[in-house]
Chains A and B, each alone.
Chain A
Amino acid sequence: MPTVHDWINNPLAVVDGLFAQSNSSPDWEKKVVEYFKEKLKLNDAHTWVPSLNDVPLYYLKPNSLVKFRCMVQDMFDPEFFMGVYETNDLTSNSKQVKCGKYRDITVGGQVDFNSRNTVTSERQTFYCVPIPGESQWAKESYAGTSQARVVPSTSYVPNRHKRSYEEDDEMDTQPQQMKDVSQGTQSSAESHGNTEPKRQETEAPSHDSSSAHCTSSLDLNFPLPGEKGPACLVKVYEDWDSFKLNDMLEVFGILSADPALRVIADEREASLLLDPTEVTETVEEQRVHSPPASLVPRLHMLYAQPLVHNNPLLPSSAPENDGDHLSSVLGELASVRAELHTYLTHVLMGDSLAAEYLILHLISNVYSRRDVLPLGKFTLNLSGCPHSSPYTEHLYKAIQQLVPSSYRLCMSLHNMNNQRMVPRKDYTANRLVSGTLQLANNTSLFLDETQLEQGQLDATGVRNITALGNLISWQKVDYDFNYHQMEFPCNINVLITSEGRSLLPSDSQVHLRPTLNPPNLEEYLSAVQVAQIPSQLNKYRIYLSVARALNYTISDEITKAVEEDFVEMRKDDPQSMSAEDLHRLLVVARLLSLSHGQNTLSRDGWMKAKQLEALRISRTQQQKSVSGNEP
């Protein structure tokens, strides 16, 4: 058995073997990548590879092959390294040419820097975090499919074990960086008092505070507060330009958690003493770019698969490649849709129209952009949600059960004024400090406006509201680079729940009209959710992901019909049908067709979409006349 898994347990041996065979012809690099790609293609071989997402780091063997499902959070500067180097073995006095790829540290003997065989290569480092807001069910399901058998290596378990738990606890209690910093300085102040006499006076403060930071809490820079999981420095050896910020990836790579890297703190101290002019990085930068390997392991990428979605129930490749699977899903699509609709109607307290729109919203997707205009987005505003009741929370739980990743943002005044939503470049530490709006594609963002109260928004609050508005209208977030802003397009499904009309723009507003009035809301809602058996939920999950990825066209004939219809509608009452209304109608028609598994718009589909819109608009207008205070 061990021979089979050699390429998993000791991939570096494979790399070295191929390198030795190559006689320093440069195509060995390709061969290595090919070799691992082939191996991973073999029947489910990729499930044997242990995943950083569900196996704790201290169970994994250093220098073994692991995988990591992640999002690119930040991109560091490219670095030059010794791709090939020569070592002098002092004992045998022989020279050896070695390959430095996929490693952090040179091995064996003195490195001969003057060797003519030295090849300098370039690689890029990405800072990757687990996909933000990944639902519990998705995580569990991914972990369930893994066949990797991980044998904890007993030698250093207890030590690391304890340390790691500490870290986790700390992250729980200090979700935000602000707190971290204050904590850090506090503890440094305390320890300062204790240790000062021992140290030289000039050196003590700086040393103390840095060590306090390093050991107590390292900010792992997750976009969402309260997230857990390993962050990883992924070293990319080729095609790094093809990766973009916020891409979802499944990285297969060689784990490097060499304890030698942990002496970084010592090294810094040493280098400071030796030569202050040589230190090009600030302490903050050091902490960010070379954190302890026990917390942020290095992963040397052999192969990465971009993830179109992170739904574990579907094959990770694009759905077209898997015809059988798709047709089986499409076969029972109608029934699944009906069941899902019933379920959502129950969740929405008997409002079937709102349930219809919620389905459309859940499968919406920015499929293209025309200059600045994103096409296909469908932001839904569910108004009429009761103020400050647990209802929205339950609604979010139901959605969380359906989509692979989601986040609920309570728009309370405190949150709006204090949360950092837009990612910001921190030039001192030279990294992109994440914000709540740094999310992977197709994440469901649940904005809970019912939590908003009267009060004053400060400058941060206004900026946050503007950022949310931009996100909804243009599907982009302007990252703050201090001297300039940089625009990052995104693809996030935004659902707003509010009492009245939301203060944020939305593509469509549906006023909730409950027909059921259960005496105990909470009991009712939990009962509805419990009633869904897992297999049923899985069907819904597959349905939503498949419907979103379907192709869609409009035939010329229907185009004509739609044009006619538009002209006709304008004739009757030009006020009732603007260009914007047509935009929305086309999106609704598209999503409605897709939700029924249809690839093209039919005349019937168009009529249905119109009916749906008419129903919605009449309800909004009624609502207006009832409340009377709407603009």
Chain B
Amino acid sequence: MSSPSSQSRKRDPPTPASEDPLSPPSQRSRAHDTSTELQPMPTSPAMDTAAQDVSLFSSPMAPRSVLQSEVDVSSPLMYGTPSSRVEGTPRSGIRGTPARQRADLGSVRKAPQVDMHSEPVSESCCHSPIFVLFLQRFLQQFTDPNSREEENAGLDLNEPLYMQKLDEISVVGEPVLNVNCSHIQTFDADLYRQLICYPQEVIPTFDMAVNELFFDRLPDSVLEHQIQVRPYSALKTRNMRALNPEDIDQLITISGMVIRTSQLIPEMQEAFFRCQVCAFNTRVEVDRGRIAEPAVCRNCNTTHSMALVHNRSAFSDKQMIKLQESPEDMPAGQTPHTTVVYAHNDLVDKVQPGDRINITGIYRAAPMRLNPRQSQVKSVYKTHIDVIHFRKTDEKRLHGLDEDGEQKLFTKERVAMLKELAAKPDVYERLSSALAPSIYEHEDIKKGILLQLFGGTRKDFTQTGRGNFRAEINILLCGDPGTSKSQLLQYVYNLVPRGQYTSGKGSSAVGLTAYVMKDPETRQLVLQTGALVLSDNGICCIDEFDKMSDNTRSVLHEVMEQQTLSIAKAGIICQLNARTSVLAAANPVESQWNPKKTTIENIQLPHTLLSRFDLIFLMLDPQDEAYDRRLAHHLVSLYYQSEEQIEEEYLDMAVLKDYIAFARTSVHPRLSEEASQALIEAYVDMRKIGSGRGMVSAYPRQLESLIRLAEAHAKVRFSSKVESIDVEEAKRLHREALKQSATDPRTGFVDISILTTGMSATARKRKEEVAQALKKLIQSKGKTPAMKYQQLFDDLRGQSEAAITKDMFDEALRALADEDYLTVTGKTVRLL
């Protein structure tokens, strides 16, 4: 069969054929009548039973309308039902616009399982004008003043929502109306229930109602085909695991991840037969995937003379999609479930493997036949979902934050519980102690990590050219090996929904960022994202940060300040968002932390990178008796407490998770006047400390860190305003971290330049002094063009009071060489 090109498949071919245009309501009712009359002709006993057997479960293939007209059409390809071939260009109004078959709804023939007597909506009343009017009233009246949905942006929320959407359709020309089921529920609970239980009947009526309304209102608009209604968000979004036999033939919404999509399947809607003898044409509707081939020509009565003409049969698009449960929804220790989904017509190729989507559709089940020639049946049903509406949950991640899609649905009780917790005065302490309870003490570090989990408020300064302001807090932990740094990282990684855990040793720059790969199937270049991009809006935990190669580390510079990743590889140039917080752990170079050295010297990381961390903590063994005692008690209790005791003592990890998720999505604190004053003061104070000793002790970066920390602290309190207590805590934590990491071991002062320039101010001063002393020494020697290296070193040592190491001497020589005062060649020093 020649496969039609996808271009022509997209639209119904405009056809000049003449046919009585039917108004949709009457056409619909007639379609229904005819479809019951026109049972597929029994050709063989097997076929016969098949027709009876499967009618229990309506399958998606059976089209709704049957029109036995013999129009010869110039176009070789037919799409849609014959009714789409109406007189038309220029067409307008409801009569002129072709109805497009809804393969997603399948046959209108109702399932016999449905007990109509107990239901208020029977088929006849479903199509009744009253029902249609009722639906139209919904469309005309429904407003949603509190809408936060992305699609409704730019609409006047106080005007009827769906009427505005209809106007939009006429402008955009895309004849699809998405209807949120929760709107229907608020409008009329009964209607909602009917929609959920009998989507196959209600949705066509809905279509009808919308089309009448639309063309009444805008009689001159031209649409490709009639408007189709696509309901979404049926009930609450459900887990795939929750599906059960009661959901069959109902409207459901489930979430999941696409793992595979099939190629496009052209599905025959209507077969075209021509008699070989007398060239008589006939059309046969495809019923549930089977074509009832006419055995006898009705015109000349020749048996078995009808031949299928592919080019004149009508096809529609279909695609099989495999959906897998999202990993978050799964109970521990189980493997994910998968479901088969069929997409029809323009929903084909809307999703790709790897997409996270919510789908709304009708759940179907059909019995499996073991052998067509046997009566025995495998007592298992094949299930699938005919999709009506797709909604990608991670669609907007490339453009901006999709808070709507990510928002977990909390029950009211849960929210109340969380708010109650937030109201407690010691919530900050409670939460921080709930963090990794198996790790002992390190309270400030835990508090820091807690604030990191909440993050600051995102601000956008793109208008003023500053770009996005980083809201994520980065933390570096350094310290002796075996101080449970990795454990802390593992904990955080397990706590956050979008966490990534990598080890510096095992990751390459490519693994962290993104790489370009050729897809083996499609031969297309595909961008594969690495850990940093994957943890967008999450936390990237990097263990053994110091073991990372320089090359890899350099990638982090951009990520940690600009929060983006630029890629230019194999013809793909792009910038990906990587709004990730980095939680890194580094070991000292000498395997044991040397308290006589600065942080930089201990971990040997470039200061450019270090200054991008908001907080740098040292995890050291404190080595004092009281601490030891508490530590021992803590550890021993790990080994004898029963599980219940443990749970009583600490906040549940699930509560903590929900608390963070809730705060991140619904609390957006802003600085209050008083807080900004406090911040300014704090910053000025920090600058002052240093200026007394002739060095800079704070940079704007530190101020930014303070703001972020204060905002995060306000989030912990569920407060929409940053107040002075938040600033106080931010100051305290920041100071605490600095005290640990930026103390100059030689002077005992906190010196921010250790982190910003890699060298403390006193060290720099001493370096200069040595260089000057050396210069003096050389000058005192008079005009000797060359000196012995060792001699000079000894002389300098003899002269200076302080001990001078060889390193310091070399450094001084280098400094003088930079001044073009001398050069060092091998073992001799020459003056210039």
Contact (A371, B438) CB under 8 Å given A85-B379, A122-B244, A483-B259 = yes
CB distance from B353 to the nearest CB of A (A): 8
Contact (A113, B633) CB under 8 Å given A85-B379, A474-B490, A566-B628 = no
Q: Which of B53, B333, B376 contacts A260 (CB 8 A)?
A: B376
Selecting from B91-99, B144-152, B364-372, B723-731, the interface stretch reads B364-372
Does chain A have a CB within 8 A of B393? Answer: no
Q: Which of A100, A428, A579 contacts B484 (CB 8 A)?
A: A579
Residues of chain A lying within 8 A (CB to CB) of residue B375: 109-111
Distance A276 CA – B623 CA, assembled complex (angstroms) = 73
Structural contact, A372 and B494, CB atoms closer than 8 A: yes
Residues of chain A lying within 8 A (CB to CB) of residue B112: 114, 116
Number of interface residues of A (CB under 8 A): 84
Nearest-neighbor residue (CB-CB) of A263 within chain B: B371
Residues of chain A lying within 8 A (CB to CB) of residue B113: 116, 118
Contact (A570, B56) CB under 8 Å given A79-B380, A244-B334, A275-B289 = no
Residues of chain B lying within 8 A (CB to CB) of residue A393: none
Does chain B have a CB within 8 A of A582? Answer: yes
Selecting from B381-389, B555-563, B684-692, B704-712, the interface stretch reads B381-389
Does chain B have a CB within 8 A of A318? Answer: no
Structural contact, B379 and A427, CB atoms closer than 8 A: no
Distance A567 CA – B639 CA, assembled complex (angstroms) = 18
Q: Which of A113, A488, A571, A579 contacts B482 (CB 8 A)?
A: A579
Q: 29 A–B contact pairs at CB < 8 A?
A: A75-B335, A78-B243, A79-B380, A80-B383, A82-B367, A103-B379, A104-B378, A106-B376, A106-B378, A111-B53, A111-B375, A121-B245, A260-B376, A261-B370, A274-B290, A275-B290, A277-B61, A278-B289, A370-B438, A372-B490, A372-B494, A373-B438, A430-B338, A563-B629, A566-B632, A579-B440, A579-B484, A579-B635, A582-B632
- A binding-site residues for B, Cβ under 8 Å: 74-75, 77-82, 85, 100, 103-107, 109-111, 113-114, 116, 118, 120-122, 241, 244-246, 260-261, 263, 266-267, 270, 274-278, 280, 368, 370-373, 375, 425, 427-428, 430, 432, 462, 466, 473-474, 481-484, 486-489, 552-554, 559, 562-563, 566-567, 570-571, 574, 578-580, 582-583, 586-587, 590, 631
Distance A299 CA – B22 CA, assembled complex (angstroms) = 57
CB distance from B60 to the nearest CB of A (A): 10
Residues of chain B lying within 8 A (CB to CB) of residue A280: 320, 340, 382, 384
Does chain A have a CB within 8 A of B23? Answer: no
Residues of chain A lying within 8 A (CB to CB) of residue B440: 579
Interface 0/1 of B629-641, CB less than 8 Å to A = 1011101111110
Distance A473 CA – B640 CA, assembled complex (angstroms) = 21
Residues of chain B lying within 8 A (CB to CB) of residue A277: 61, 265, 267, 289, 318
Structural contact, B333 and A113, CB atoms closer than 8 A: no
- B binding-site residues for A, Cβ under 8 Å: 49, 52-57, 61, 112-113, 243-245, 248, 257, 259-260, 265, 267, 289-290, 318, 320, 322, 327, 330-340, 353-354, 365, 367, 369-372, 374-384, 436-438, 440, 482-484, 486-487, 490-491, 494, 503, 506, 591, 621, 623, 625, 628-629, 631-633, 635-640, 643, 646, 653
Structural contact, A372 and B640, CB atoms closer than 8 A: no
With most chain A CB atoms within 10 A of its CB, the pick from B331, B370, B438 is: B370
CB distance from B504 to the nearest CB of A (A): 13
Nearest-neighbor residue (CB-CB) of A278 within chain B: B289
Structural contact, B55 and A113, CB atoms closer than 8 A: yes
Residues of chain B lying within 8 A (CB to CB) of residue A554: 636, 639-640
CB distance from B520 to the nearest CB of A (A): 12
Structural contact, B653 and A106, CB atoms closer than 8 A: no
CB distance from A71 to the nearest CB of B (A): 13
Residues of chain B lying within 8 A (CB to CB) of residue A466: 503, 506
Nearest-neighbor residue (CB-CB) of B639 within chain A: A586
Contact (A582, B506) CB under 8 Å given A105-B377, A260-B370 = no
Structural contact, B333 and A375, CB atoms closer than 8 A: no
Contact (A430, B322) CB under 8 Å given A118-B56, A120-B381, A370-B438 = yes
Structural contact, A373 and B636, CB atoms closer than 8 A: no
Distance A375 CA – B635 CA, assembled complex (angstroms) = 11
Residues of chain B lying within 8 A (CB to CB) of residue A241: 331, 334
Residues of chain A lying within 8 A (CB to CB) of residue B490: 372, 474
List 6 A-B pairs, minimum CB-CB distance, nearest first: A244-B333, A554-B640, A566-B632, A120-B245, A370-B438, A113-B56
Distance A114 CA – B54 CA, assembled complex (angstroms) = 9
Structural contact, A481 and B377, CB atoms closer than 8 A: no
